């Protein structure tokens, strides 16, 4: 490294370099990029676009010009950045769904509310809108400060005169380093009335201003809810309002209805909104929508949501308000550059800053006009004086050597000033033919009057404010439009009972032990040749039920959990499909198995669930305890020890005897009065004492006149009357219910309560054997009747007719 280079090297800490550079960058994007100026409501790129169009004569009373020419002028003279960023900013200034009063008029495709991009700048044409003329009016009269542009070849304004309060009328949105702004658009007439009132009542309160300004007025209309939030935002600069689409419910043929949306919230993409509503229909997140159509045309926005017959339209509409952008929250955050600093400002602060700007602008204009008037009056006085000595003046000019000599001679002869002499010698000869002293004297009088008026304005703040108010009134008269957004006092809370949106329909439901669930329409089920549900190898069916979509499934697992799942939430499949695992619908342990399923229509009944574990623990819990509002995960139905598991869940409505059956042939009967109803997380109480090597195989709830069937592994079946089993108390071993045999003893594998007209079969290793014989009750010591010569697993019970 040579010495010269070495002298230029600076040794600095990386943290210092990063902090310094990012600090400079942050200052730049805060002050000169992303945030609007409180005085004219424009960001630098917007201001440069408007000023470039003004300087190029591309104003509203002249023909349109290619947008590419304006973009080129902006980049070449004022804004050395990408052409796309300049063109995008220019397009936004022309979009009447983004700006309450568009500042640019554009011919051609300038985008759409569907988010479509504008045509390329070589195709579109643009010019300033009429109201933009007010932002730039009289800017050549030194009303605002000018600074050199990026290459010092010309100057540009630091702010525009802005003869209407553009920041509040058109709003602003932007994000910079550490700051963001979201200022909503307002109605021009309301804001001007508020500004004028504030000028006349300097001590007024915000409530006085709010008699003029109802709230934001979005170009897309819609309904704004939350008067208190609007007031809070106008007080502090921050607040959250709700914007709701304007929708009506219309009747259509066939006794059906449709929802018609004519206005949507500000800055919502209509195409995405329509797609979202249609996705809800396709995914069946909301029942009852038949079709969604976008019927928007040149007459205005129109989204039609056609509903099925007998669907509650208000409930569907509320669901769409809650789950789509038909209703949004808009966070007001009124940050603007004030005195070169980003400031969070309330409505009064914004109005005061605009009034101060207008006072400075009108003062500068008055000074400029006053100077011009005095200069012109001085010239006119010289011309009047010249008329009285016109022949002598002509004679002196004719005998002068040149222009400078003529001026010198006139000054010496008649006492003209330098400027008066310059004006006289510059007069064209034809002007001498009709130089009328009366016209000059009249002009002199008008100039004197103008000077007096301007002097009065500059010397009196009252007259200065009167000028500003008169001009604002003219703006209001010319450009005021009716309010588009409707203000509603309160934010309406949307409460939706999903069942209200469900169309009642009979369906077939299947649930397997491994947790696969499916819902099938009866039409699909009846069209299937086999009524056997398709399952994975090794899985088994826990429940096959015909239900309606308004019922609720309560599924219990071997770990004591329960899953609450409305039928309409079940995924719809063909009957021959396996279905979907329940873990896709609710969060649960992958190792858990479904052991019992119950369908509930009403949880407010005097019913109970009777729980039994493999170790003989029992518990009774009210059905109403299992009703929940949030069901995104499996919940505890009974606390079960690690080495235990839930094996039985029985639904009961009245007092019964509890009969517990063990593998080694023991029967224990006790009254369920001994078991007090407990909550979900309770562990329960001991029901039966199990001997060594014994295990509980079944629990039956039966009345004194009922009969039960007992099945052994050797294929024997015996029928017992419940009254023949001795009544005991819980936590006992019970009595032996089968004759003891030393060689190959009988062991119970299943037990059921016999119901009238109930068809019973036996599941064996060879398949299912139907039980045709009507058995007679026997005593406890009997081994029953042998029905099959095969290994036996359990009873198979058909549905009761």
d(CA 766, CA 552): 36
Pairing state between β 617-622 and 685-686: antiparallel
Quote the tokens at residue 472. 């604002």
Rounded to whole angstroms, how far apart are CA atoms 543 and 238?
56
Could you tell me how far CA 530 lies from the centroid of its own chain? 47
Residue 21 — φ and ψ, nearest 5°? -70, -45
Catalytic residue among 25, 28, 54, 123: 123
Helix, strand, coil tally for the chain in percent (to 5)? 35, 25, 40
Centroid of chain to Cα 321: 10
Q: Which residues, 6+ apart, have CB-to-CB distance to 75 below 8 Å?
A: 81, 83, 86
Query: In this structure, are residues 632 and 565 in contact, taking their beta carbons and an 8 Å threshold?
Result: no
Q: Which token pair is 191?
A: 């804001």
The residue with tokens 């109005």 is 351
Cα torsion 524, 528, 533, 537 to 10°: value is -120
Task: Name residue, tokens 């249609």.
Answer: 278
**Nearest 5 degrees, angle CA 163-CA 169-CA 172?**
110
Kindly give the pairing relationship between strand 223-225 and strand 486-488: parallel
Q: Is 391 helix (H, G, I), strand (E, B) or coil?
A: helix
Residue 548: partners with Cβ closer than 8 Å, 6 or more residues away:
504, 505, 506, 507, 567
User: Cβ distance 254 to 309 under 8 Å?
Assistant: yes
Query: Active site includes 25?
Result: no
Give the span between the Cα atoms of 11 and 169, in whole angstroms.
51
Residue 216 · residue 485 · CB < 8 Å: yes
Q: Which helix (H) or strand (E) holds 384?
A: helix 347-388
Q: CA torsion sign, 685 to 691 to 694 to 698?
A: negative
* Helix 461-479 and helix 188-200, axial crossing angle in degrees, nearest 10: 170
Tell me how long the chain is. 801
Q: Tell me the catalytic residues.
A: 123
């Amino acid at each position: 490294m040579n010495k010269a280079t070495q002298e230029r090297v600076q040794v600095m800490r990386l943290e210092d370099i990063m902090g310094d550079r990012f600090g400079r960058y942050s200052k730049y994007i805060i002050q000169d990029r992303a945030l609007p100026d409180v005085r004219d409501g424009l960001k630098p790129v917007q201001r440069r676009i408007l000023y470039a169009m003004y300087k190029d004569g591309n104003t509203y009373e002249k023909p349109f010009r290619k947008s590419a020419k304006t973009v080129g002028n902006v980049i070449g003279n004022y804004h050395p950045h990408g052409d796309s960023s300049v063109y995008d900013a220019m397009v936004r200034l022309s979009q009447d769904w983004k700006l309450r009063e568009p500042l640019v008029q554009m011919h051609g495709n300038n985008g759409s509310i569907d988010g479509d991009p504008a045509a390329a700048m070589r195709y579109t044409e643009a010019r300033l809108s009429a109201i933009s003329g007010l932002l730039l009016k009289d800017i050549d009269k030194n009303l605002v400060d000018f600074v050199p542009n990026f290459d010092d070849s010309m100057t540009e304004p630091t702010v525009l005169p802005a003869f209407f309060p553009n920041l509040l009328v058109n709003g602003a949105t932007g994000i910079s380093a550490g700051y963001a702004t979201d200022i909503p658009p307002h109605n021009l007439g309301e804001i001007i009335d508020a500004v004028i009132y504030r000028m006349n009542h300097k001590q007024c309160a915000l409530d006085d201003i709010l008699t003029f300004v109802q709230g934001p007025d979005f170009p897309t209309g819609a309904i704004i809810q939350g008067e208190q939030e609007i007031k809070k935002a106008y007080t502090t600069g921050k607040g959250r309002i709700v914007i709701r689409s304007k929708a009506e419910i219309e009747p259509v043929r066939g006794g059906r209805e449709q929802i018609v949306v004519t206005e949507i919230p500000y800055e919502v993409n209509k195409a995405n909104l329509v797609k979202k509503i249609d996705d809800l229909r396709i995914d069946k997140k909301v029942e009852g929508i038949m079709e969604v159509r976008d019927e928007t045309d040149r007459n205005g926005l129109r989204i039609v949501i056609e509903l099925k017959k007998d669907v509650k339209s208000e409930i569907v509409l509320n669901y769409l308000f809650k789950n789509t952008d038909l209703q949004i929250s808009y966070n007001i955050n009124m940050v603007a550059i004030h005195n070169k600093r980003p400031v969070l400002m309330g409505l009064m602060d914004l109005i005061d800053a605009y009034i101060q700007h207008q006072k400075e602008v009108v003062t500068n204009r008055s000074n400029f006009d006053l100077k011009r008037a005095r200069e012109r009056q001085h010239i006119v006085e010289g011309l009047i004086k010249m008329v009285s000595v016109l022949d002598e003046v002509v004679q002196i000019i004719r005998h002068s050597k040149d222009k400078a000599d003529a001026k010198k001679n006139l000054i010496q002869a008649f006492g003209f000033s330098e400027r008066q002499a310059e004006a006289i010698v510059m007069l064209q000869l034809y002007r001498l033919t009709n130089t009328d002293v009366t016209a000059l004297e009249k002009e002199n009088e008008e100039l004197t009057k103008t000077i007096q008026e301007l002097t009065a304005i500059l010397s009196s703040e009252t007259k200065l404010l009167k000028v500003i108010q008169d001009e604002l009134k003219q703006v209001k008269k010319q450009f005021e439009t009716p309010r588009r957004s409707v203000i509603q006092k309160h934010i309406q809370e949307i409460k939706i009972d999903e069942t209200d949106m469900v169309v009642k329909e009979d369906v077939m439901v299947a649930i397997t032990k491994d947790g696969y669930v499916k819902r099938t329409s009866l039409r699909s089920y009846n069209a299937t040749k086999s009524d056997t549900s398709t399952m994975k190898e090794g899985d088994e069916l826990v429940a096959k039920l015909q239900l309606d979509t308004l019922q609720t499934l309560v599924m219990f697992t071997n770990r004591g959990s329960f899953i609450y799942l409305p039928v309409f939430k079940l995924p719809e499949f063909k009957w021959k499909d396996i279905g979907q695992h329940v873990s896709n619908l609710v969060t649960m342990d992958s190792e858990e198995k479904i052991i019992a399923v119950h369908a509930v229509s009403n949880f407010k009944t005097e019913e109970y669930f009777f729980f039994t574990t493999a170790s003989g623990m029992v518990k009774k819990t009210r059905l109403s305890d299992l009703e929940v509002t949030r069901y995104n995960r499996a919940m505890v139905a009974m606390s079960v020890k690690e080495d235990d598991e839930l094996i039985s869940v029985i639904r009961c409505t009245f007092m019964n005897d509890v009969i517990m059956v063990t593998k080694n042939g023991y029967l224990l009967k006790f009254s369920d009065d001994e078991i007090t109803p407990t909550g979900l997380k309770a562990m329960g109480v001991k029901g039966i004492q199990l001997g060594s090597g014994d295990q509980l195989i079944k629990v039956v709830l039966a009345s004194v006149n009922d009969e039960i069937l007992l099945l052994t592994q050797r294929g024997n079946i015996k029928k017992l009357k419940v009254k023949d089993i001795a009544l005991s108390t819980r936590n006992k071993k019970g009595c032996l219910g089968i004759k003891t045999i030393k060689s190959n003893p009988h062991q119970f594998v299943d037990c059921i309560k016999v119901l009238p007209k109930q068809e019973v079969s036996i599941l064996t290793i060879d398949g299912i054997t139907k039980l045709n014989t009507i058995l007679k009750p026997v005593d406890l010591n009997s081994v029953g009747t042998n029905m099959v010569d095969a290994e036996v697993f359990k009873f198979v019970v058909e549905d009761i007719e």
